[in-house]
Amino acid sequence: KALLEKEVEDRTSELQISNNRLTEQTALLADRNTKIETLINEINHRVKNNLQLLYSLISLQVPSIADSTSREILKGNLGKIKAMMLVNQKLFRFDEGSSVNVDDFTTELTVHLQKIYDHKGRIRILQQVEKGIMLHGKLTLSFGLILSELLTNSFKYAFADHESPEISIKVENMDHGIVFVYSDNGAGMEPKKPHERMTMGVSLIHDLARQMNGKLEVSNHNGLTYEFQIPV
């Protein structure tokens, strides 16, 4: 009996020691997580402020630029910065975690760019984004930059003297990913000069599609259509 009691006592002591160590490790991890969270919040705050400052500075410069080409380049940069700002805002607002609602994001970016390029609302925009689609931060940024580039080029180049200009944006779920189809009913691109309308933008679009491991098909019939298949 004495031997059994001794074994129980020793075992209890070992368990107590293990429990104390576990408690200490848990406290250390909690402290480390708190520090990491504080650091992330500080970085996010600085990124947000820097993006807002950059956006404001460019916005102030645009009206004073006499050269139309330079002015349009700055406007295009505003669209890209706005996409980054929205991703940053969506990821950290209301503890949404690491995913962004594509429908809300698309609406905000589209409305913003239309105010820059089509403030009279002449161009009709049809948005069909399947409800509930979420993308994580890196994918959302690539998606936003692509959408910004496509919208910007449609607004700038597609609809000269067009009576019924229209842009269509569709996003829907597929097996293991999403399908994103962007189209306009504008002038399209000349077969011999397929990149003229997009200039550097087309390279950015293709590069971003590759970064997302996506597939991209481009159609130049009755306007332009870009279809992306993006694994998520």
- pLDDT number for residue 25: 83
The answer to whether position 87 is within a domain reads no
The answer to whether position 91 is within a domain reads no
Task: Tell me the per-residue pLDDT of 96-144, one tens digit each, with 9 for 90 and over.
Answer: 457 889 999 999 899 988 988 888 889 999 999 999 999 987 888 899 8
Instruction: Give the range of the structural domain holding residue 224, as residue numbers without chain letter.
Output: 98-231
The answer to whether position 64 is within a domain reads no
- pLDDT number for residue 39: 65
Domain count for the chain, please give it: 1
Picking from 65, 103, 61, the residue whose alpha carbon sits closest to that of residue 81 is 61
SS (HEC) of the chain: CHHHHHHHHHHHHHHHHHHHHHHHHHHHHHHHHHHHHHHHHHHHHHHHHHHHHHHHHHHHHHHHCCCHHHHHHHHHHHHHHHHHHHHHHHHHHHHCCCEEEHHHHHHHHHHHHHHHHCCCCCCEEEEEECCCCEEEHHHHHHHHHHHHHHHHHHHHHHCCCCCCCEEEEEEEEECCEEEEEEEECCCCCCCCCCCCCCCHHHHHHHHHHHHCCCEEEEECCCCEEEEEEEEC
- pLDDT number for residue 88: 78
- pLDDT number for residue 50: 78
Residues of the chain with pLDDT under 50: 94, 96, 194-198
- pLDDT number for residue 161: 80
CATH number for the domain harbouring residue 183: 3.30.565.10
- pLDDT number for residue 226: 96
- pLDDT number for residue 94: 46
The answer to whether position 181 is within a domain reads yes
The answer to whether position 114 is within a domain reads yes
The answer to whether position 151 is within a domain reads yes
Average pLDDT of the residues of the chain: 83
- pLDDT number for residue 134: 92
The answer to whether position 135 is within a domain reads yes
- pLDDT number for residue 42: 67
